[in-house]
Amino acid sequence: MTPIGNLLFVLHAHLPFVRHPGYKRPFIEENWLNEAILETYIPLLRVFENLKKDGVYFRVTMSFSPTLTSMLTDPYLQDKFRSFIRNLIQLAEKEASRTDYDPHLNYLSKRYLEHFVDTERIFEECGGDLTIAFRKFLEEGSLEIITCPATHGFLPFMESEPSAVRAQIRNGRRSHRRVWGRDPKGIWLSECGYFKGLEKFLADEGIRYFFVDSHGIEHSVPKPLFGVHAPVEVGSGVFAFGRDQESSRQVWSAQDGYPGDFRYREYYRDIGHDLDYNYINHFLNSDGIRINTGIKYYQITGKKQDKQYYNPDAAMEACGLHATDFLNRRIEQAKQFHSEFGQPAIIVSPYDAELFGHWWYEGPQFIEFLFKKIHFDQTSIKPIHAMETPGVIPRIQSVGMSMSSWGENGYGDVWLNPTNDWIYPHLLSCAIDMHEMANIYKSTEDAWEIRVLKQMGRELLLAQSSDWAFIMKTGTMVDYAVRRTNVHVNCFQSLKAVLMRKDEQDPILERTELEHNIFPDIDFKDWL
């Protein structure tokens, strides 16, 4: 039976570049990567391996941002994770002894111990480089890996400086080729941020498609006949795919999304905060500050403070029911669309990867259940990759799109508001300076000058990360975001001053190259 709908399931994997070698004080922000490896990336690898072992046909698209892949392939940060997981194994061993007074807690503590030990095994099987493990699924076609702007810069706010847009996209493409061994076909635009004309920059780098929020498609001119359930061509042979609101709401919604089910594990009850400080402080790995350890013994239970112990079997039952519900709703969507338009629906379901496992502990299992149910239980919906869609739908409409994002209110006010507007005069000034310096020195063959210009490019890209403006808006870790913005802008300006006065003895170049060692193949001529 020919499917009447296709599911384009997309996971956006991104973290900002956090790397601070040589500091005695542990950086809490370094745990962002460690937690994501433990709770999201390795669990997803388990899911993919299980699906392959069971002969399940699946298609998942994942974007890996260049900052994330730079960290995943960095030996220093790999060793940081080794210390992190060994610390957790020791804590879990201690917990298995402490909780022997309570059979259920003891059972949970031993599950965590097994989980941590298995995580270490998977990590070491690929020598600490998880891109090697993901590449296996890429090469066999189950996984489509796409790129992202170099440092997750919000491109609509760089529109006035074309060289800045080009450098973000080009270094995203170049980093992808270095890590994954091939050029990307698609890109996850940071925050789904699109502006009219961006497609020309994408086409110049050989990128064929990107994703936008639903209103990006629905507000196009002319209005797309098929809405978000078919890609549109936006110029230069580049295609845009729009997010399906219904499938997003089922997972994302704070009110009635699946992750809020009372049977699932409670994220906010962690032994790092619950247990006696003298018992737990040696395992916090955060200079004694209480943080999450990843060992959580309670389920959501309800909106009250009183929580019941987590029951993994009940959580898995809920997970299976939710996967069934998700699939049934996609089938109903596809039936309605097919009956109206006579062609299969392309249902685009994009999510932040870290939702699955980190925020929603059972999320990876949901993905596994979903693809098994698609494979074994029905024939109406088939998983698909973006570039397979022209082969299953007869018509693709050409439209013109306007600026949009998937941020709150749909445009740019998350990244430009009174909490963070002060950063943009600095970012734009540096972008203008970088374009000017690239033109002044475009013919240089001096190795030292080239090194300085490359590092200026790295500092500018790192300063442009949308994460810093986002953190300032949300009010979490604001001091760190402010500091990172100031550090990279100041380093850029200092390097420019060193270049202008030709001071080869100034230590700032070597110091910044050591700490901010991202993009080894960067070319300052990207800013011409």
Locate all alpha helices (DSSP H) within 378-477, ordered by sequence: 423-440, 447-463, 466-474
Output the pLDDT for position 285: 73
**What is the rounded distance in angstroms from the CA atom of residue 50 to the CA atom of residue 303?**
34
**What is the rounded distance in angstroms from the CA atom of residue 28 to the CA atom of residue 30?**
5
CB burial string 447-475: b at 16+ within 10 A, e below: eebebbbbbbbbbbbbbbbbbbbbbbbee
Mapped onto helix, strand or coil, the DSSP state of residue 117 is helix
Token pair recorded at residue 312: 């993994």
Mean pLDDT value across residues 400-407:
96
DSSP state of 265: B
Q: Please indicate, yes or no, whether the overall pTM of this predicted structure exceeds 0.85.
A: yes
DSSP state of 308: P
**What is the rounded distance in angstroms from the CA atom of residue 334 to the CA atom of residue 356?**
25
**Does domain 417-527 correspond to CATH entry 1.20.1430.10?**
yes
Three-state secondary structure of 463-489: HCEHHHHHHHHHCCCHHHHHHHHHHHH
Mapped onto helix, strand or coil, the DSSP state of residue 404 is strand
Q: Phi-psi category of 458—alpha, beta or left, where left has phi over 0 and alpha has psi -120 to 50?
A: alpha
Phi first, then psi: what are they for 362, rounded to 5°? -85, 0
* Count of Cβ atoms closer than 10 Å to residue 313 Cβ: 8
In this structure, are strands 143-146 and 186-187 parallel, antiparallel, or unpaired? unpaired
- Give the pLDDT band (50/70/90) at residue 254: low
**What is the rounded distance in angstroms from the CA atom of residue 449 to the CA atom of residue 394?**
54
- Give the pLDDT band (50/70/90) at residue 303: confident
Q: What tens digit of pLDDT does each residue of 480-512 get?
A: 999 999 999 999 999 999 999 999 999 999 999
* Count of Cβ atoms closer than 10 Å to residue 54 Cβ: 12
**What is the rounded distance in angstroms from the CA atom of residue 427 to the CA atom of residue 429?**
5
Mean pLDDT value across residues 223-240:
96
CATH level 2 (architecture), domain 5-147+184-408 = Alpha-Beta Barrel (3.20)
Q: What tens digit of pLDDT does each residue of 155-206 get?
A: 999 999 999 999 999 999 999 999 999 999 999 999 999 999 999 999 999 9
CA-to-CA separations, 345 to 1, 8, 188, 336, 373, in angstroms, rounded:
15, 10, 21, 9, 19
Mean pLDDT value across residues 221-241:
96
Mean pLDDT value across residues 338-348:
96
Mean pLDDT value across residues 332-351:
96
Instruction: Give the bridge partners for 192, in sequence order.
Output: none
Q: What tens digit of pLDDT does each residue of 71-93 get?
A: 999 999 999 999 999 999 999 99
Delimiting residues of CATH 3.20.110.10 domain(s) in the chain: 5-147+184-408
Token pair recorded at residue 427: 């970012």
Q: Do 330 and 381 form a contact (C-beta atoms < 8 A)?
A: yes
Q: Do 198 and 191 form a contact (C-beta atoms < 8 A)?
A: no
Output the pLDDT for position 212: 98
Token pair 């389920």 is at which residue? 299
Output the pLDDT for position 287: 73
Instruction: Give the bridge partners for 345, in sequence order.
Output: 5
**What is the rounded distance in angstroms from the CA atom of residue 43 to the CA atom of residue 35?**
11
**What is the rounded distance in angstroms from the CA atom of residue 489 to the CA atom of residue 501?**
19
pLDDT greater than 90 at residue 32: yes
Output the pLDDT for position 215: 96
Which of 389, 382, 462, 353 has its CA nearest to residue 134?
A: 353
Long-range pairs for 86-91: beta carbons < 8 A, 24 or more residues apart: 86/120, 87/283, 87/285, 88/38, 88/116, 88/283, 88/293, 88/294, 88/295, 89/113, 89/116, 89/117, 89/120, 90/283, 91/283, 91/293, 91/295
Q: Do 160 and 166 form a contact (C-beta atoms < 8 A)?
A: no
Delimiting residues of CATH 1.20.1430.10 domain(s) in the chain: 417-527
Mean pLDDT value across residues 120-142:
98
Q: For the CA atoms of 239, 186, 242, 140, what is the dihedral angle to 10 degrees?
A: 120
Helix (H) or strand (E) holding 72: helix 66-72
